[in-house]
Chain A
Amino acid sequence: MTTARIPLLHRYANPAAFGRLASQILPWTAGASAILLGLGLYFGLFASPPDYQQGESVRIMYVHVPAAIMSEVVYGLMAAAAAAGFIWKHALADLFVKAAAPLGAAFTFICLVAGSLWGKPMWGAWWVWDARLTSELVLFFLYLGYLALVDAFDDPQRGLKAGAILVLVGVVDLPIIKFSVNWWNTLHQPASLMTLSGPKVDPSMLLPLMLMIGGFTTFFVTVVLMRLESELLARRIRAWRTAAGEE
C-alpha cells in the first residue's frame, strides 16, 4: 500500500512513521523554543518599558499570559485528541492526551502562581475568589484528576480510555474560563489580546508577549513529542516483556 492512499490522519498512527516525523521536527521546535524564550525573556525583563499603572510588575504578565493561554489550549487539544480517539480509534490519540496532561497541569500551575504573585502588589491579595480564578483552579483539579485516573488501572489501555472520557466531560469548564471575564463583572480584567478590534496592547509590550507565547507553544510541542516517543518505546518494551512471558 502506498502512503498516498492512507488519509493524513492515519498515516502517522504507525509508530515508526510517527517516530521518523517526530525526530525530524524535534530539533527545529527545540531550537525555536530556546531562541523565542531567550528573546522573549530579554525583551520582557530588560528591553520593554514599565507599565504606567502597574510599574515593573507588568513583567510578570509575560509569563502569566502565555501560561494561561497554554493551560486552556492544551486542554482543548487533549479534548480534541480524546474525541479523535473515540471517533476514528486513532492509535496515538489517547497517548497524546496522556503525554500532554502533565504539561497542561504545569502551565496551569505556573499561571496560578504567577497570577498570585502579580495579584499581591496590584490587587492587594494573593487570591481572590473571582470567576476566572476559580474556573482556572477547577481546570487545575481536572488535570490532576486525569493524571490520577490514568495511572490507577493495572491495564494501561483501560486507564487511557477512562481518562479520555473524563477529559471530554471536563471540557465544559473551558468556555466558562474563556468567557468568565465577559459574563461576570469580576476583578480579573477582560481580554485585551484577542478582541474583535485587534490587540489593545502597546507594540513595545506586545513584542515580548508574542515572543513568549511562541516560546511556550514550541516548548510544549517539543516536550510533547519527546514524551510521546518515550511512551511508544515504553509500550514496545511492555509488548516484548509480555511476549517473553515475564508478565
Chain B
Amino acid sequence: MSAALTLFLHDLRLQLRLSTDLIAPLAFFVLATLMVPLGVGPEPNLLARLAPGMLWITALLATLLALDRLFQRDFEDGTLDLLALSPLPLELVVLAKVAAHWVTTGLPLLVIAPVLGVMLHLDTGGYLTLEISLLLGTPVLSMIGAFGAAVTLGARRGGALLALLVLPLYVPILIFATSAIGAAGEGLSPRPHLLLLASVFAGGIVLVPFAAAAALRNALE
C-alpha cells in the first residue's frame, strides 16, 4: 500500500512540475466553455438551459487531453516494465496513476466549474449538484480514460483512437450527471441521478483497474 502511495506522490510531483500538463486541460475547459455564449448568443435563459450539458461536455473533453501521456512516457523508458515486475499489483499501479491524473486534471475542473457556471447563468439550485456530480464523475472519467490509454499503448495514431474508444464509454456518466444538475436547477431532487452516478463511480473504480491492468500486461508482453 505504501508503495502505491509512493508511486502516487511521485507521479503527482512529476505532473506538477510539468506545468503545461496542468494548465492545458484547465485552459481548454475554460476556453471551450466560453465559446458557448459566443456561439449561441448571450441570452441568459438559453444559456442556463445549456449550462449543465456544456460544462460537462467540455469537462469530459478536457480530461481526454492529458490521457495519452498517462502511460506513454513510462512505457517508452521502461519504467512500466519495472513496475510490472515489482511486487505491487499492476491494478494498484493503475489506481495510483489514475489518482495522480485526477488530482492534476479533475480537481482543477472542480474548482473552476462554479465560476464558469456563473458566466453561463447556471440556475442557483444547480451549483452544489454540479460540484457533487463532478466529484463523483471525473474520477471515473480518469479511470475509463486510463483504460483507453492502456489499451492503445503502442498503437499507431493513438490519440484519435483513444477518443473513439473512450467517448462511447463516457455516455452514462454524462447522462446521469447532466440530468442531476438539470433536476436540481428545476427544483427537483437530484438524488436518484446522483445515486446512479455514485453506483457508476463505485463499479468503475473497482472493475476498470482490472481491465486496464490486463491491457497493460498485453502491451508489455
Tell me the A residues contacting B by CB distance below 8 Å.
86, 134, 138, 141-142, 144-145, 148-149, 152-154, 158-159, 161-162, 165-166, 168-170, 173, 176
Nearest CB on A from B64, distance (A): 14
Q: A170: which B residues are within 8 A, CB to CB? A: 168-169
Task: Please tell me the number of chain B residues within 8 Å of chain A, measured between CB atoms.
Answer: 23
Nearest CB on A from B73, distance (A): 19
CA distance A148 to B159 in the complex (A): 12
For the complex, would chain A's binding face be called helix, strand, loop or mixed by DSSP majority?
A: helix
Contact B167 A169 (CB under 8 A): no
Assess whether B199 is interfacial by the CB under 8 Å rule. Answer: no
Contact B211 A152 (CB under 8 A): no
The residue on B at minimum CB distance from A152 is B155
Q: A148: which B residues are within 8 A, CB to CB? A: 161, 164-165
For the complex, would chain B's binding face be called helix, strand, loop or mixed by DSSP majority?
A: helix
Contact B171 A134 (CB under 8 A): yes
Contacts A/B (CB < 8 Å), 18 sampled: A138-B171, A141-B167, A141-B168, A144-B164, A145-B164, A145-B168, A148-B161, A149-B151, A149-B152, A149-B161, A153-B156, A158-B219, A162-B155, A162-B215, A165-B214, A166-B165, A169-B208, A173-B168
Q: A173: which B residues are within 8 A, CB to CB? A: 168
Tell me the B residues contacting A by CB distance below 8 Å.
147, 151-152, 154-158, 161, 164-165, 167-169, 171-172, 208, 211, 214-215, 218-219, 221
Q: B211: which A residues are within 8 A, CB to CB? A: 165, 168-169
Contact B169 A153 (CB under 8 A): no
The residue on A at minimum CB distance from B164 is A145
The residue on B at minimum CB distance from A142 is B168
Q: A86: which B residues are within 8 A, CB to CB? A: 214
Nearest CB on A from B218, distance (A): 4
Nearest CB on B from A172, distance (A): 8
Most chain B CB neighbours (cut-off 10 Å) among A149, A162, A176 = A162
Q: B218: which A residues are within 8 A, CB to CB? A: 158, 161-162, 165
Q: B168: which A residues are within 8 A, CB to CB? A: 138, 141-142, 145, 170, 173
Q: B156: which A residues are within 8 A, CB to CB? A: 152-154
CA distance A149 to B169 in the complex (A): 15
CA distance A160 to B214 in the complex (A): 13
Nearest CB on B from A128, distance (A): 15
Other-chain contact of A166, B151, B167, B171, B172 (Cβ < 8 Å): B151
* A134-B171, A145-B164, A152-B152 known, 20 other contacts, Cβ within 8 Å: A138-B168, A138-B171, A141-B168, A142-B168, A145-B161, A149-B152, A152-B155, A152-B157, A152-B161, A153-B156, A158-B219, A161-B218, A162-B218, A162-B219, A165-B151, A165-B218, A166-B165, A169-B211, A170-B168, A170-B169
Contact A153 B154 (CB under 8 A): yes
CA distance A166 to B168 in the complex (A): 12
The 4 closest A-B CB pairs, nearest first, are A152-B155, A141-B168, A145-B165, A161-B218
Nearest CB on A from B150, distance (A): 9
